[in-house]
Chain A
């Protein structure tokens, strides 16, 4: 049973380009979370999704960032017109379909985004 998969593991973009980060949850998991870790800072919540629904996006920057979790395929975190301040490690986590509050979250290996 594969764990949470994220790709790419490393992504380099120039300012103004788009970044697409992918997350495939563990088999049977229907809840996906995206977290960001800025250099030398702690992890911060971005968005919580279930299939085809955004449940909580209170941690998402208002502009340039969007997330989706379609019926088929991985969850995507999209950053448009990247800036140097977007350079960070982006982690995805998943949990199973019963009460997510009491369930362990399983983390992917992260995508390290570098904006030149």
Chain B
């Protein structure tokens, strides 16, 4: 079993829909990251969380430390949101990241 699990693996949505991507982890963490990997392969850091909730534009990330669970929400989705979304954690005091396998999102018109 992976230390970081994401669901769903694949997600198709229509433009305008509200999207939720989930991440569960089985180890103690110091921080959780949400990353976006574009079809061209580049990786962008969206959020880093250690508690609570963060919002940036149409993106919202939440984390529940007790339940070892985080969610990434996209409001009013748009085709340009199509990408792979990756959850990653710093386990314990480690600087390195441990990654989930990613959620491939396709937003259609």
Contact = CB atoms under 8 A, between A and B. Distances in A.
Interface of A: 31, 33, 35, 41-45, 48, 55-56, 58-59, 89, 91, 93, 95, 100-107, 109-110, 112
Given A59-B96, A101-B95, A42 B102 contact: yes
Interface residues of B, number: 24
B107 to A, nearest CB: 22
Interface of B: 30-31, 33, 35, 41-45, 48, 50, 86, 88, 90, 93-102
Given A43-B99, A106-B45, A109-B42, 14 more contacts: A35-B97, A41-B101, A44-B99, A55-B95, A56-B96, A59-B96, A89-B41, A95-B95, A101-B31, A101-B94, A102-B48, A104-B33, A105-B33, A107-B42
A59 B99 CA distance: 13
A91 B101 contact: no
Contacts, number: 62
Interface majority SS on B: helix, strand, loop or mixed? Answer: strand
A93 to B, nearest CB: 8
A112 B86 CA distance: 19
Contacts of B42: 107, 109-110
B38 to A, nearest CB: 10
A58 B42 CA distance: 25
29 contacts: A33-B95, A33-B96, A33-B97, A41-B101, A42-B86, A42-B99, A42-B100, A42-B101, A42-B102, A44-B99, A48-B95, A48-B96, A55-B95, A56-B95, A56-B96, A58-B96, A101-B30, A101-B93, A101-B94, A101-B95, A104-B33, A104-B48, A105-B33, A105-B45, A107-B35, A107-B42, A107-B43, A109-B42, A112-B41
